[in-house]
Chains A and B, each alone.
Chain A
Amino acid sequence: MIKQTPLTIRTSPHLKKGLTVPQIMRNVVYALLPVCAWAVWQFGISALAMIIVTTLSCMATEQLFTAISGKKSTLSDYSVVITGILLALTLPPGFPLWMAAVAGFVAVALGKMLFGGLGQNPFNPALVGRAFVQSITTWTPGFLPERFASFIPSSLALPFMSPADSSDWIAGQVDAYSSATPLSLFKFEQVTTSTQDLLLGMVSGSAGETSALLVLLCGGFLIARGIMSWKIPCAVILGALLTATPFWLMNADVYPTPLFVIFSGGLMLAAMFMATDMVGTPLTPAGIWIYGLFIGFLTVIIRLFGGLPEGAMYAVLVANALAPLIDSVTQPRAFGTRLKQQSGEEA
């Protein structure tokens, strides 16, 4: 009798697809890198510093929490890197870096680790962090001549220090100074920005929100790689279009064009990278359409009738909160449980 090595026994299925959670997360990071690069090109080293600070702050927070609870480090699943980058992309460059670091801490601590870490957080952590610091945003214009040479002074403001007035610095670099975003321009001054500028990102705004086209392409990369479903981005954009069009048709002077709505502000970033954060989305096939359409709808309603120029962030957070409810009312009809069962006559 030949000595035999023991055989491995496992339960079926014995075949696994190659895709793993860290691979998914890593691909999302890759997809976000061009958006980061554009932000740095547009806003300069303040934007770069912001991205680095929030990412490191988020990673450090996660590491701290796993160390305290005596678990294995979870940095290697890359999910916290996404949170850090997304947070930076939703904040305006020129935002004080210490506050960005606090936002990163809040995002991961409050938005993720307190719920139990990856897979347990009901809300998108980056948006939790952003919502925490929402009230203190100052918008930054892009393409300042000195943007690679020096920080926007407010970036380096320290806690309890009366912040250096960045508007003087900015005004010193641009002639016709305006730091308002296209959305606030529209909301408060009825000025529309050309769709082409919005697509290409030649406007002011948060670091990662400006180029709708680039965000669209990066999201498309994820969809093509099969990392992300096309359904949620489609539903969000469709929801926004469907909500904005009737208002625009009723009164084109007061309400923006549907194209302006979907390409301005953070809607595209929210549709591609925030709403699609897998953890907070419903699971059912019908549920994700309801979820996406609702985000698009709520974003437009907040923008048109709310006190804020931007609504995508709150729309995603509210939809995240509703996800379990949506799930419970949209359970799919299981195979073979059709209400009116066909008889054998048809066979």
Chain B
Amino acid sequence: MSFFNQPFTQKGFLRLPWQSKSFANGIHPEDHKELTERKPIRRMPFSNKIIVPLSQSIGAPAKPIVSKGQDVVRGEPIAEAGGFVSAPVHAPVTGTVAAVDELVSMPNGSKTPAILIDTWPSSDQTVRYLQPRDTSVMSADDLVKAVQDAGVVGLGGAAFPTHVKMKAPKGKTIKTLVANGCECEPYLTCDHRTMLEYTDNLLRGLQLAMVTSGAKKAIIGIEDNKMDAVEKIRQSIVARQLTNITCEAVPTCYPQGAEKMLLKSLLGLEVPAGGIPADIGCAVFNVGTLAQIGELVPQGRGLIERIVTVSGPGVSKPGNYIISLGTPLPFVLEQTGAIDNPGMIILGGPMMGMSIATRDIATTKGITGILVFTPEQLPNSHEPEMPCIGCRACVEACPMLLNPSMLGKLADVNRHQEMMDKFHLMNCFECGCCSNSCPANIPLTQKIRVAKQSIRQKARSAG
């Protein structure tokens, strides 16, 4: 009901504290998931040119180990990890390396080194580069090594190398693993479909992560707008008699999928400001990541494809597709029936994803969604920015309990130090709730982002 779906009548308006556990505040954007949530995952054909960027995760870029003219088979490593916080890259197709050069753009527009592979048209593209192993006899260290060798990074969008999180940091113990199946961003449904269609892989991956981290129990947290996934996983847990894994529904609310929010909802614990989940004995993994671990590690192969939601009003065939990493974006757009002149293309979700300036990019491990909008249906309104009227919509939306209105006003006069000292600037994780709810159309998130940058820069030049 759009009439009553306005800021103050949202979550928390009539929901009493004991009715359901969740974090404070948050927003309810229209989720548009109906476009793709019932569409089974389908494989997208292989493009005849695959451009694999070497920098696909946070951390050092991978180092190429193939050269021009060399033939590669699907699944073979083509670049090795550039350091501990880094992940290797594998050949997504069988073909010939045509170039190793700065070929494609990062989503932010800068050029990045990549490996260009000409796909063999006659190849059936079966993965033959496999090293099957029995995970039940492997040590925790071997499993972590196997995850790194598979090149697995967080598939929820942040692309943090997963193996780094799979062992408890020094001096800390991991007691609880949390599988993040919230997928609170509008439009995105790839995790939803993964949970429904790859339930076994997900549970296997979760068990492996429990072995490496030493966690005694695990919780799978899913927003309650995906009850079919909750039911499916609960049945699987019962069928496999996994007594230390539970699956819990959490209230549908953005940003429920932020790990700090999810931990608050599931365990009632707050990650200390500036801390990580390990500080409260937890580790959080995206369900898509776990499903990949559950599939790749026993087979002994690398991460060469991922499930991407392609959606939005600008595509005629929205859906969840298995897309080979390195598939050029124009090919994806063509396959999904995107319009010729889109107004905006967003990588990721509309709340935290980025709109891109060029189509000259290739899919990477961190791309959860590709959303295409027509020029007429751009999701952001063109209303002019107005003065802040102190309506408190942003304060009532901020999940980190900050005061975005005050932060915005201080940012306007460059009082960045005061923003940090008095108003917890660095706690903001840029979820966008404040900008979304602001009726005066003030780009609060952006102002806060700029302030954070300037603080970091100052710290860097001082140190």
A residues adjacent to B (C-beta < 8 A): 2, 4-21, 23-24, 77, 79, 117-120, 223-230, 278-281, 283-285, 288, 327, 331-338, 341-347
Contacts and interface: CB of A to CB of B under 8 A. Distances in A.
14 contacts: A7-B358, A9-B356, A13-B432, A15-B351, A18-B381, A20-B439, A24-B391, A226-B7, A278-B390, A285-B396, A332-B402, A335-B260, A336-B427, A345-B281
B8 interface: yes
Interface stretch (B80-88, B91-99, B128-136, B170-178): B170-178
Contact of B402 (A6, A79, A334, A341): A334
Given A12-B350, A337-B272, A344-B282, 17 more contacts: A5-B341, A7-B342, A8-B344, A13-B433, A17-B7, A17-B437, A118-B387, A119-B388, A227-B8, A229-B392, A280-B390, A283-B405, A284-B395, A335-B23, A335-B24, A336-B274, A342-B269
Contacts of B436: 13, 15-17
B34 interface: no
Contact of B281 (A2, A13, A347): A347
Contacts of B431: 13
Contact of A333 (B388, B401, B422): B401
A121 B344 CA distance: 38
B439 A24 contact: yes
Given A8-B343, A228-B8, A15 B379 contact: yes
A61 B441 CA distance: 26
A11 B446 contact: yes
Interface of B: 3-10, 23-24, 27, 29-30, 172-173, 175-176, 186, 260, 264, 267, 269-275, 279-282, 340-346, 350-359, 375, 378-381, 383, 386-392, 395-396, 399-403, 405-406, 422-424, 427, 430-433, 435-437, 439-441, 443, 445-446, 449
Given A14-B344, A336-B270, A7 B391 contact: no
B437 A334 contact: no
Contacts of B432: 12-13, 15
Nearest to B263: A347
B354 A226 contact: no
Nearest to B406: A283
Contact of A12 (B351, B381, B386, B401): B351
B450 to A, nearest CB: 10
A14 B4 contact: no
B355 A10 contact: yes
A14 B281 CA distance: 34
Given A225-B3, A336-B270, A13 B350 contact: yes
Nearest to B354: A12
Given A7-B357, A11-B443, A13-B350, A331 B390 contact: no
A347 B280 contact: yes
Contacts of A228: 8
Contacts of B423: 331
B392 A12 contact: no
Contacts of A285: 395-396
**Nearest 6 CB-CB pairings of A with B:** A226-B6, A344-B281, A13-B432, A119-B387, A336-B273, A334-B424
Contacts of B424: 334, 337
Contacts of B186: 15
A334 B441 CA distance: 24
Contact of B399 (A14, A20, A335, A347): A335
